[in-house]
Amino acid sequence: MVTSTAGPADEDVDGVDLGLFGPSSVTWRVQLEPVLWVAGMRALLLQSLHPRVMRATYQNSALFDPKKAWPRFQRTLGFVGTRTFGTRADVETAAARVRRLHASLRGREPDGTPIALDDPENLLWVHNAEIDSYADVARRAGVIDDDEADAYIAESVRAAEVVGLDPARVPASRAALAAYFDRVRPELRITDEARWGVGGLLTPQPSAPTGIALALSSVAAVSFTTLPRWARRMYSLPGLPTTDLGVTVALRALRNATDRLPDIPAPPEIARARQLVREARAAG
C-alpha cells in the first residue's frame, strides 16, 4: 500500500487526490523544471557504474535494443510522472506493476551467481542514484537551495517505499546520501555492459522522433559533466573542480533559458500540477 512515512503530503484540494506530494512540496517544484532532463540522464549514467545492477539490467532491459529503447524510456518516464503527480490509487497501481516486474526478473554474474533485480541493495542503489541526480542538478541550477535539497531527499523516501524499500534504510538528507555513496564506491566500476549501455545513450535512438532523438543524445553528453568527480574519473573524464564550477554556471544559464519558454504540452496530471504549484507560490 502507498503510505507517507517520510512526512505528510498536502491535503487534497476540493476533493482531488494529490498523491504522495502536492503543490507545496519541493518534489513537485523540482520535477516540473525542464532542466531536470539533465538530471534524468545523469541518473542513468550514475546507475550504470554498479556492476551487479548493470549486468542484471542489461540482461533484461529493452533499453539496450535500439528498436525498443524509446518505448521503454517512455514507460520509465510515465512511471516517474505517475509516482510524482498521480493520485494515490494511480501510484499504487503503477508501483504494484513495477514490483511484480522486478520480482520476475533475474540476471547472472559471469560465474553464474544469480542476481535479483528486486534485491533491496540493488533497489536502493537505483533509487539513490536517481534522487542524488535530481537533487544535485536542481540545487546547482538554482531551482532549490541546500535546505530545500534536504527536504526533497526526505520527501523522496515516499517514492522509495512504493517500489518496495524499507523507508528506514533510505537516506533522507544530503549528508546521508553522501555517506551511502562513500560506502558503496569500492563496489563501483565500469563494466562492458556499462560501456554498451552508455554508448547507446549517446547515439540517437532510431525509434524516437528525430528531434527528440538528437536532443536526448545532446542531454546525455551534457549530463556526463554533472556527475560527481569520482564518477567522471571512472568514465575516464576530467575530475577537476573547475569542471564543476563551469557546469554549475551552465546549468543556471540553461534553467534561466528554459524558464522563458512556454510550457511543453503535458498529460492532465502534470498540467494540473503546474497550475497548483503556481497558485501555491502566489499564495505563499
pLDDT single digits (tens) 135-157: 999 999 999 999 999 999 999 99
Which carries the bigger pLDDT value, residue 279 or residue 4?
A: 279
Q: What is the pTM of this model?
A: 0.87
pLDDT at 208 over 90: no
Residue (of 71, 57, 44, 161) closest to 102 by Cα position: 57
Q: Is 80 exposed, middle or buried (0-12, 13-18, 19+ CB in 10 A)?
A: middle
Please tell me the distance from the alpha carbon of residue 137 to that of residue 141, in angstroms, as a whole number: 6
For the ranges 85-89, 165-169, 235-239, which has the lowest average pLDDT? 235-239
Which carries the bigger pLDDT value, residue 12 or residue 215?
A: 215
Q: Pairing relation of β-strands 106-108 and 114-116?
A: antiparallel
pLDDT at 1 over 60: no
Residue ranges per domain, the chain?
Answer: 26-266
What is the average per-residue pLDDT within 113-127? 93
Structure confidence at residue 6 (pLDDT) = 43
Question: First-to-last CA distance in the chain?
Answer: 32
3-state secondary structure of 114: strand
Per-residue model confidence as pLDDT tens digits over 15-36: 678 899 999 999 999 999 989 9
Structure confidence at residue 7 (pLDDT) = 47
